[in-house]
Structure 1
Amino acid sequence: MLKVIFFLKAEKVGKNGESPIFARISYKTKRISMSTGKSISKERWAFTSNLRNVLKLEKEKVIKNSLDLFQIHAEKKFIELFKMDPEVSLELLKAEIAGKTKIKTKHITILEVLEKHNAFFARKVEAGERSKASFQKYERSTHLLKSFIKKQYGLDNMPAADVSNGFVFTLEEYLKYESSFKGQVGIKNNSVVKYMKMYKTACNYCIRMDLIIKNPFDAYNGKLNVKDAVFLTQQELNRIEEKTITIERLEKVRDIFLFCCYTGYAPIDALKLSHANLFEDNDGNLWIMTNRTKTTIRENVPVLPPALAIINKYKEKQMSLLPQISNQKMNAYLKEIADICGINKHLTWYVSRHTFATTVTLGNGVRLEHVSAMMGHSNIKQTQHYAKVLDVNIMEDMEKLKLRYK
């Protein structure tokens, strides 16, 4: 970890014949030096073995105590910075030990923190590493924060260093009960938690860039309310597949929806697929291979027969595998499909992804870790949420148990 060594700058001698004592601070492969504010003669420094021997002179005891306190102070400041970012800047540590802070750290405002992060995020969107929809959420979070500061403090902005725990939790209350958007007052808990995490992410980015030294949103501990995912049962899925639909726009929407049910791709990823994403393995099996726009995680899925039929149906009709449609129109037309198929569920495009995870894969015995990989989840906990709602699997296992007890 941190290493502090004291040395004498013997080449510098004051009028009193003493030389200044410096501290050499090392961390990993980097090191800096700074004055301790103490001095001693070259002879006494050597005689006391750099103040490591038993000291008899009162002045030297005082100097030794000061150096010990200096080291403790340096280690304490290091730990504080390490908790925020393990890649501790020694220049920043030096400023902290000396009781100074960088000018940019003092003057950067909380809205500038978000703007700098958003500018960085915009570049990731341009490179195709993140989605435009995610960027719009960060822009929305900036607008909400600006409105809060204006209403709560009567200011257009405020220094990031002034953002306290009280600020953070008052902001949470404002988002939940007072913020307004398109005539609607208040934001639901899960959306509030996501906005607060965005603020935390933006601050962490600026810490890495040495623009701020502490993340005020580390104090936030809000939790998402986990709800059961809406998905279609096999009977409902069959009903949509077998329904005769004569309206062309609804037929296209039905095909896109079913394709996502049998591949698990999110809307933004499904519409980006082209024939370049199709690959055949050595055994002749066809795969769709791509990265998730949201997380850039690999999402490779074997093509099931129903999905292949839809691919062939629209082959050479457009550049992409599927017809293009907006998310808004897709969800509006899915409501019509739910009505004509007699499905009493809030049918949205994302229901198809949930249906793939539950009914199509987990419900048919596909292992959880394989489902997680196909869905491009960053960890298996995200996939476990779908496994919890499959009561039909529990009943199948219990039926086997019943036979044992007969």
Structure 2
Amino acid sequence: MIKTFFYLKTDKQNSNGESPIYAKIKLLGKTTTLSTGKNICKERWDFTNKLRNKLRLNTEKNCKTAIDVLENKIESIYFELSRINPDATLSDIKNRLNGKYMKLGDIDILTLFKKHNEYFKKKFEAGERSKASLQKYSRAKDLLCNYINKKHGKTSFSISDIDNQFVYNLESFLKYESSFNYKVGISHNSVVKYFQCFKTVCYYGIKRNIITTNPFLAYDEKLDIKEAVFLTKDELERIQNKVFHTGRLNRVRDIFLFSCYTSYAPIDVQNLTKKNVIKDSEGTLWLKTNRAKTNIPTNVPILPTVKRIIDKYSNLGGERLLPKISNQKVNEYLKEIGDLCQIDKKLTHYVARHTFATTVTLGNGVGIENVSKMMGHTSIKMTQHYAKVLDSNVKKDMDKLSLKFA
């Protein structure tokens, strides 16, 4: 809470022997001073108990009114600035008193990013967001900082100064000049996702009355939708029936198949414990958890293949459901599995999630709404992407149509 004290600066006097009245403002252990513009002699200051007693002289009444108005003004400015910026400083308050107004949006974009990322980190620590998402926002902030430094020669940039030219010059910088791990340039889809981060950070500021507009809405580029890589029924069976002579390939194959029949992403598989296996009132076994990426519930009935895999690793010890293998190693060994099974596709752990959506569920007539719910999608549009690539479903529907025409 802010506090204001008034004192007499006795080392200074005017020709009438009066000393100036100063205000000392205290906030979070720090102080600053400023002149009230009023003067009074020390004797009257002491006699009136710093103008707290009943006053009779008009000049003293005027002084009292002035310092009361100033005190109220300091408090009002503090509460207004705190609403805009919870970290408002004494310098901000002093600037406002001196007529240097900071409008909504004048906040530095990197300062806003810092506030957002600190908030997001708390959500991650509470288990509501994934580590990968936190790293994505941190990387987005670093890229923006690098652009501002290299192209504008600054260490900060006011949001109110971000215009369309800034936005599209930033896009060009990210695509063709930005470097990371000795690689120059970022792919189109990655750039679009970073701009989604920029927009989200600004929405965070708008919701908290820190800013009023989102300058990154000017950017309207879309993701290049690529065909999802998934396994056909035959390819899935080849992996399922293949006999591997090394434990590591068997373990990775089991983790991959587990994801093919549950839709779980790598991070979600790693986080599963025996507590996530739930039996309902009808005796059906379910896997119940929340997606690490979005914290959305993803409840999936346990299919026979999944049950066999869970039983196979029931003696792991501890609460873990499956062996823990890093996603990097899983993807490395999946390449080997793909070669041994003569599958001419780039296998990654995420191919399993796509296979669940297409071959396992939609291809077998499961409703798209149910598939979307099991996958933890925030919008059914995300699931519709998988439905578009199922030629088998198109053939079934067209066969029905052919019969009608026949």
- TM-score interval for Structure 1 and Structure 2 normalised by the shorter chain: 0.7 to 0.9
1:106 CA displacement: 6.4
Give the Cα separation in 1 of the matches to 2:213 and 2:387: 39
1:154 CA displacement: 1.5
Name the SS of the counterpart of 1:294 in structure 2: coil
- In structure 2, the partner of 1:220 is 219
Structure 1 contact 104–211 (Cα < 8 Å) conserved: no
Letter in 2 for 1:278: V
Letter in 2 for 1:389: V
Alignment of 1:216-365 (within 5 A): 216-318=215-317, 319-365=319-365
1:177 CA displacement: 1.4
1:211 CA displacement: 2.3
Structure 1 contact 292–298 (Cα < 8 Å) conserved: yes
Name the SS of the counterpart of 1:301 in structure 2: strand
Name the SS of the counterpart of 1:283 in structure 2: coil
Give the Cα separation in 2 of the matches to 1:247 and 1:367: 38
Letter in 2 for 1:243: K
Structure 1 contact 264–356 (Cα < 8 Å) conserved: yes
- In structure 1, the partner of 2:178 is 179
- In structure 2, the partner of 1:166 is 165
1:107 CA displacement: 5.3
Give the Cα separation in 1 of the matches to 2:203 and 2:226: 29
1:157 CA displacement: 1.9
- Gapped regions of structure 2 (runs ≥ 5): 1-80, 85-98
How many residue pairs match? The answer is: 310
Letter in 1 for 2:166: F
1:105 CA displacement: 4.1
Structure 1 contact 330–349 (Cα < 8 Å) conserved: yes
Give the Cα separation in 2 of the matches to 1:144 and 1:106: 21
1:403 CA displacement: 3.4
Structure 2 contact 105–213 (Cα < 8 Å) conserved: no
Give the Cα separation in 2 of the matches to 1:126 and 1:256: 26
Structure 2 contact 278–286 (Cα < 8 Å) conserved: yes
Name the SS of the counterpart of 2:193 in structure 1: helix
Structure 1 contact 262–304 (Cα < 8 Å) conserved: yes
Letter in 2 for 1:259: F
1:104 CA displacement: 7.5
Give the Cα separation in 1 of the matches to 2:234 and 2:341: 11
Letter in 2 for 1:284: G
Structure 1 residues 352 and 106: alpha-carbon distance in aligned structure 2, compared to 1, 3 A threshold: closer
Which is greater in Rg? Answer: 2
Structure 2 contact 276–287 (Cα < 8 Å) conserved: yes
Q: What's the C-alpha RMSD, in Å, of the aligned pairs?
A: 1.8
Name the SS of the counterpart of 1:146 in structure 2: helix
1:160 CA displacement: 2.2
TM-score after normalising by structure 1: 0.73
- Gapped regions of structure 1 (runs ≥ 5): 1-88, 93-99
Structure 1 contact 245–251 (Cα < 8 Å) conserved: yes
Structure 1 residues 344 and 108: alpha-carbon distance in aligned structure 2, compared to 1, 3 A threshold: same
Give the Cα separation in 2 of the matches to 1:101 and 1:245: 73
- In structure 2, the partner of 1:114 is 113
Give CA-to-partner distance per residue, 1:213-251, whole Å, 9 cap, x none.
222112221111111110000000000001000111111
1:294 CA displacement: 1.2
1:210 CA displacement: 2.5
Give the Cα separation in 1 of the matches to 2:231 and 2:106: 53
- In structure 1, the partner of 2:387 is 387
Give the Cα separation in 1 of the matches to 2:357 and 2:104: 46
